[in-house]
Amino acid sequence: MMATILWHTVRQRLLRPLPLALCLGTVVASVVASLWTTEEVSGPMGAAFLPLLAVVLAAGLIGRDVENGSMHLLLARPLTRSQLLAGRVFGVLVVLLATGLAGWALSAGGAWLRGGDVDWATSSATMAEHFLRASWWVALLVAGSVALSGYRDVALFFGAFLVAELLSAIGENTGLRWFLRAGLWLFRELTFAPHLESWSLGNSAARQLLHYASNVTLALAFAFWYFNRREMGYGRE
């Protein structure tokens, strides 16, 4: 049943003009960027759009269903709220991963066929880095979406960036180091992704992966906990 929700999410989130255009654009940008790079293909540059694609795909993931009333129909299906939310989250991640992999395979494969020197390890690690950042943003948006209706999760998400910038600017201009530190900390957490240089996973990369995993599970734990306890007029014991 969860698989049904997953594929429903893939169709529902992807088959809209903006996500579809961005998805295809990400793949095309990877290919074009690989043609443009002269000596090395170190990373699919189009994959840098994956986090942006994540925002478009995950915007209002739950909030829209609550707002337009379709959540009641979904909750009437024989599955738990956690299964429903997991299906939604994995649906978005499947689209992101497929886009990232397609862009990487086409750009690196194309360069290799042209006789270029492809650094497979570095290029795949770069793609994975962008995918991890994108999945972190999906987790953040889902955490916002279970608590807010419509597309307010996107407003909260970009609002957090604005707060980070404001705090940094206030700290920078007034000499209040705590504001500056708080702003920089928030900005770093929002944009955090482990640095996986060529998959040579040393101590530093392992700690960054731990930091990333902690961030994502915290956001998802909040999302699953709140979604399960939220009163939606149906399906809650």
Partner 1 sequence: MDGNEKAKGQSRVPWFLLGLAGALLILRVLFPAPSPRGSLEPQPEEKVSWHKPEEVPQDPDKPLLYDFTASWCAPCRIQAQEVFADQEAATFINETFIPVKVPQERQGEKIVAELFERFKVEAFPTLVVADASGQVVASQRGYISKKATLRFLQRALEKHNAQTQDKKP
Residue 54 in contact with residue 137, Cβ under 8 Å? yes
Distance of CA 88 to the CA centre of its chain: 13
Helix, strand, coil % (nearest 5) of the chain? 80, 0, 20
Q: Binding of partner 1 at residue 35 (CB under 8 A)?
A: no
Which one of 94-102, 150-158, 159-167, 196-204 is the stretch in contact with partner 1 (CB under 8 A)?
A: 196-204
Kindly identify the residues of this chain, within the stretch 79-138, that bind partner 1 according to CB under 8 A.
79-83, 117, 119, 122
Q: Which residue in the set 52, 163, 182, 198 belongs to the binding site for partner 1 (CB under 8 A)?
A: 198
Minimum CB separation of residue 207 from partner 1 in Å reads 4
Give the residue from 136, 118, 107 showing the smallest Cα distance to 47. Answer: 107
Q: Which residue in the set 39, 69, 115, 178 belongs to the binding site for partner 1 (CB under 8 A)?
A: 39
Give the residue from 146, 137, 15, 157 showing the smallest Cα distance to 86. Answer: 146
Which one, 16 or 181, has the nearer CB to partner 1? 181
Minimum CB separation of residue 154 from partner 1 in Å reads 24
Q: Binding of partner 1 at residue 149 (CB under 8 A)?
A: no
Q: Which residue in the set 24, 76, 166, 176 belongs to the binding site for partner 1 (CB under 8 A)?
A: 76
Q: Binding of partner 1 at residue 42 (CB under 8 A)?
A: yes
Tokens of 97: 């991963």
Rounded to whole angstroms, the Cα distance separating 34 from 106 reads: 9
Minimum CB separation of residue 224 from partner 1 in Å reads 4
Which one, 120 or 151, has the nearer CB to partner 1? 120
Which one, 67 or 197, has the nearer CB to partner 1? 197
What phi and psi values does residue 47 have, to the nearest 5 degrees? Answer: -65, -15
Rounded to the nearest 5 degrees, what angle is found at the Cα of 210, between the Cα atoms of 209 and 211? 90
- CA distances (Å), 234 to each of 5, 63, 174, 182, in order? 18, 16, 51, 40
The footprint of partner 1 (CB under 8 A) covers 1, 33, 36-40, 42-43, 45, 75-83, 117, 119, 122, 184, 188, 192, 194-195, 197-198, 204, 207-208, 210-211, 213-214, 217-218, 220-221, 224-225, 228-229, 234-237
